[in-house]
Structure 1
């Protein structure tokens, strides 16, 4: 009779560290970076080769810069020099690339503007990138540029009736919650990096906008789209709600409560609303049998998008593996963490990922977008460092 030792159980923390630190971060620093242009590739194919595109978006560069700044701060990867090199290149190419205030949307392979529209979402992310660069290196020029970005955002995008315009030129018909959410995230990142109340005050105004406009009073859920008057775009019960954004806002509301000196009434609203958004997304926006988050539903909690984008999974993972949910939802946290690696990051991709799967778990894309890494790292650091 032979004896055998029990096989060591590999925890989500161990599996994610191996995948994130040993594979994903090196993949996008090496195969994912164009050393000649000093910019990140937008996409890699399944063999980790760059997918050549006619334009590189500001948003993607900013997300990758922020990700490698964060990984450097967390001592999970040494990406400082590359991140700062890319940031300086991006500033030279995108900021006032057409001679006007703000940042152009994208540049072509020669480094000239491909699209000169001004996009609030993209401006939010370049501000976010500067916030993390300040945390990492604290260069005086980065503090100066962060303030300039915030001032240019006010100059370019301020709407006449609260909040901001999505883009310039503006259609005059649509307002979206998403760029406001990421602008809030950016202001909090720069505030935490600098301690400058200038950014926290702007964050507070976005919290007020969420409270009065973005979160539907009847359902308590965050709506995606509005007309120019901030009226929900569709009739009651037919508006789009994205569970992943419920999770993102839940995180940000808690983060604002952590960083601000709000009174007890405001703090209670922040934490109660954060809990409500998490609960709605978790209970109504997830398929528990497959441990994945659906793309979309209505404010009546009817699922309208049965496919699953990778970013929504990571926003839930970030919550489940942080306070207060890691203590109360440990089993779900582990199950979703394992499920993510199995469905979205198979071993054959060696640190890469599948961005979008259908209801049967089949890929809906044939490439890896760099833009996903910002979301993935936010979840990964919660799992690996806890």
Structure 2
């Protein structure tokens, strides 16, 4: 396998493509056991499921999305897992008072009465994928998720979604954030690619304009994470929790990379988005300038608004988004510099992130590239790594389900 120092090792190298296909299979196999709803539980480092830990909406919906894509790529076993997950979302997670429960205990009872836009964004994405994959009750899942977002979360005046609501759709805190809205952007694009409904594309662009063009561009393409109730940037939020899983203090280079990919996806459908190329390039450049460790490799977790490192851990989802963004930029711009970054990212991932003994990818490394678990214990996530290994197979910016259906 050619990994180091080979100038001919490019995104479309046949040997690399062969490796990516095998890695996709290996990642899915980590979730082969156990059967039933336990498959959707939190996994430890060895792949075993923590039977005492509650099930979470975002995590279960991500797996449905990934397994649905796998079915479209010919894995019927994964298709069975996806169908199993759709049933789970439409039974245990459905709340008759509205929307989906965010967290349920192992016995299926609710853990919290709040509704979170983050989890609902992934339920919508899972629904769009389920329909494209031809899964039973996929349309029902999509409809339920769409209805919940429209009725509980979407603020059309703001052009964004609130983060947390009660079952009646009333906000339960003054916090507003970009993370859930970024994932809603991905889900809206998937729904547009499925249905052709202009409203989905319109919402995706409105979100990009709010959080990237208005929020990040004036700050040198550093993406503000946290906002007040009036949608003003809150640069102090999270100072006491700098390594939080979802709301850490400061700026997250990984989200700039994720937005870079999403911006290109919007522009692929909306040529009038004239600042898309500038934004995608600016976000990527800022992320690697602030986040990439020239000595040890890897993209750091968080910085402040001046680029100083706050959290030096390396999260697997960040390098996964770096891989995807570099592919999409290389394809859309023709700039070989992005292919060079892709090589560099994969070289580091191959050396440090892929766990060839225990399976899957290490979800967190420390600044010296050693496995850690301060923020992310275990290996519960397939979504980021799986999409990363599929990225090089995409010939144009598109949602992964749409690409699996038409191009891959």
User: Would the TM-score normalized by the shorter structure come out above 0.5?
Assistant: yes
Report the alpha carbon displacement of residue 113 of structure 1 after superposing the two structures with TM: 1.7
Checking the alignment, whether the CA contact within 8 Å between 2:131 and 2:139 is kept in structure 1 is yes
Question: Secondary structure of 1:15's match?
Answer: helix
Map 1:206-285 → 2, pairs under 5 A: 206-211=207-212, 213-215=214-216, 217-234=218-235, 240-260=250-270, 262-263=271-272, 267-285=273-291
CA distance in 2, matches of 1:279, 1:76: 37
Report the alpha carbon displacement of residue 311 of structure 1 after superposing the two structures with TM: 0.3
Is 1:142–2:138 an aligned residue pair?
yes
CA distance in 2, matches of 1:213, 1:157: 21
Q: 1:382 to 1:243 in 2, by over 3 A?
A: same
Unaligned 5+ residue runs, structure 2? 1-8, 240-248, 396-408
Q: 1:134 to 1:93 in 2, by over 3 A?
A: same
Checking the alignment, whether the CA contact within 8 Å between 1:105 and 1:122 is kept in structure 2 is yes
Checking the alignment, whether the CA contact within 8 Å between 1:213 and 1:230 is kept in structure 2 is no
Question: Secondary structure of 2:310's match?
Answer: strand
Question: Secondary structure of 1:304's match?
Answer: strand
Report the alpha carbon displacement of residue 213 of structure 1 after superposing the two structures with TM: 4.7
Checking the alignment, whether the CA contact within 8 Å between 2:175 and 2:229 is kept in structure 1 is yes
Checking the alignment, whether the CA contact within 8 Å between 1:345 and 1:354 is kept in structure 2 is yes
Equivalent position of 1:293 in the other structure: 299
CA distance in 2, matches of 1:171, 1:216: 30
CA offsets 1:224-257 (integer angstroms, 9 cap, x no match): 111112222127xx97111100011011111011
Q: 1:12 to 1:232 in 2, by over 3 A?
A: same
Report the alpha carbon displacement of residue 336 of structure 1 after superposing the two structures with TM: 1.5
Q: 1:327 to 1:75 in 2, by over 3 A?
A: farther
How high is the TM-score relative to the length of structure 2?
0.81
Question: Secondary structure of 1:333's match?
Answer: helix
Checking the alignment, whether the CA contact within 8 Å between 1:39 and 1:61 is kept in structure 2 is no
Q: 1:336 to 1:219 in 2, by over 3 A?
A: closer
Task: Choose which of 367, 375, 380 in structure 1 pairs with 2:384.
Answer: 375
Report the alpha carbon displacement of residue 352 of structure 1 after superposing the two structures with TM: 1.9
Q: 1:293 to 1:272 in 2, by over 3 A?
A: same
CA distance in 2, matches of 1:83, 1:369: 19
How high is the TM-score relative to the length of structure 1?
0.85
CA distance in 2, matches of 1:251, 1:274: 7
CA distance in 2, matches of 1:14, 1:44: 28
Q: 1:360 to 1:182 in 2, by over 3 A?
A: same
Unaligned 5+ residue runs, structure 1? 1-8
Report the alpha carbon displacement of residue 285 of structure 1 after superposing the two structures with TM: 1.4
CA offsets 1:278-298 (integer angstroms, 9 cap, x no match): 111122211133331110112
Q: 1:149 to 1:294 in 2, by over 3 A?
A: same
Is 1:45–2:45 an aligned residue pair?
yes
Q: 1:211 to 1:247 in 2, by over 3 A?
A: closer
CA distance in 2, matches of 1:160, 1:187: 14
Report the alpha carbon displacement of residue 355 of structure 1 after superposing the two structures with TM: 0.7
CA offsets 1:308-343 (integer angstroms, 9 cap, x no match): 111000000112233237743333312321321221
Question: Secondary structure of 2:111's match?
Answer: strand
Map 1:345-356 → 2, pairs under 5 A: 345-349=354-358, 351-356=359-364
Report the alpha carbon displacement of residue 74 of structure 1 after superposing the two structures with TM: 3.2
CA distance in 2, matches of 1:368, 1:54: 12
Equivalent position of 2:153 in the other structure: 157
Equivalent position of 1:127 in the other structure: 124
Checking the alignment, whether the CA contact within 8 Å between 1:250 and 1:274 is kept in structure 2 is yes
